Structures are given as structure tokens and as C-alpha cells.
């Protein structure tokens, strides 16, 4: 199963023109703990073709949320940018297969 089918919701959004932030909302504590151990930050870095050191990760147990923040693949609105609001990047995690 892909990650998007295992959790409640995944969203991505600009955090200002230079940063992207991705929130993974889990169903409950058990789901959160499960995803927390199976999803490593390396995988996210590979998906976004960036260096591990560029990614901040927040595991927020009280909200059952795992959050990643990273520099935008391209600065918002530059000639190279293809998603002004950054909401489509969530798909990369939604379609990620974490294995059994």
C-alpha cells in the first residue's frame, strides 16, 4: 500500500516563497508510531532529490503528525517553478510505497 492510503491526509504548502512544508496527518497514536518508524527522512530526501541536511523533520505526537520542511525545489514563481502554491508536492509522498 502507498503512504497516502495508510494515513488520514498528506498536504504540502509553501511556507513563504523559499520553503515548502509537508504535513502527514495520521489516524491515531498507533498509526503515527507505525509510520514514524517506517518513514525515514532519507527516503524523503531522495524523493525530493535533495540533501538530507536540507530537511527539517518534526514528529509531533500530540497531533499525530509528521512534518517535513525543506527549501522549495525551485523558488516560488521563478521561471523554473511549475507549482506556484506547492500543493502538488504532497503527491510524491502519497504515492510512496513503504513496503509491507
Partner 1 sequence: MRKNEIVKILVPAGALGIPYDRVALDAGLLEKPDLIAIDGGSTDSGPFYLGTGTSKYSRSATKTDWAELMDARAKANVPLLIGSAGTCGADTAVDWMLDLTLEIARERGEHLKIATLKSGQDQDTILRALERGAITPLEHAPTVTAETIRETTNIVALAGVEQIQAALNTGADVIIAGRTTDTALIAALPIARGCHKGAAWHGAKIAECGALATTNPNSGVVLMHFDDQGFVITPMADDAKATPYTVSAHMLYENANPYILYEPGGYLDVEAAQYRSIDDKSVRVEGSIWHDTTPYQVKLEAARCAGFQTVSLVMVRDQHYCRHIDAWVDALKKSFAQKALKNGISDVSLELRIIGQNATLGALEQRRHDAVEFGVMAIFTSHDQSRSQEAAKLLNPDLLHLPLTPHEPMPTFAFPFSPPEMNKGALYEFCLNHVMAVDDPMDGFTLEITES
The 3-state DSSP class for residue 15 equals coil
Considering the rule CB under 8 A, would residue 94 count as an interface residue with partner 1?
no
What is the separation of C-alpha 74 from the centre of its chain, rounded to a whole number of angstroms?
16
In a 13 Å sphere around the CA of 96, the CA atoms on its Cβ side amount to 23
Exactly one of 4, 34, 57, 92 binds partner 1 (CB under 8 A); that residue is 92
Nearest 10 degrees: CA dihedral of 67, 73, 76, 79?
-170
For position 61 contacting partner 1 by CB under 8 A, the verdict is no
Binding footprint of partner 1, residue count (CB under 8 A): 38
Grid cell 497531533 is found at: 63
3-class secondary structure, 35: helix
Site string for partner 1, 6-45 (x = CB under 8 A): -------xxxxxxx-x-x-x--------------------
Which residues lie near partner 1 (CB under 8 A)? 13-19, 21, 23, 25, 47-49, 56, 58, 60, 62-63, 65, 67, 69, 71, 73, 75-80, 82-85, 88-89, 91-92, 95
Amino acid at each position: 500500500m502507498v503512504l497516502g492510503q495508510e494515513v488520514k491526509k498528506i498536504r504540502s504548502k509553501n511556507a513563504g516563497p523559499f520553503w515548502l512544508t509537508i504535513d502527514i496527518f495520521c489516524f491515531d497514536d498507533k498509526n503515527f508510531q507505525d509510520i514514524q518508524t517506517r518513514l525515514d527522512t532519507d527516503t524523503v530526501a531522495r524523493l525530493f532529490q535533495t540533501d538530507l541536511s536540507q530537511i527539517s523533520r518534526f514528529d509531533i505526537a500530540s497531533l499525530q503528525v509528521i512534518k517535513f520542511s525543506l527549501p522549495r525545489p525551485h523558488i516560488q514563481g521563478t521561471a523554473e517553478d511549475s507549482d506556484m502554491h506547492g500543493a502538488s508536492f504532497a503527491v510524491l509522498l502519497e504515492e510512496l510505497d513503504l513496503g509491507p
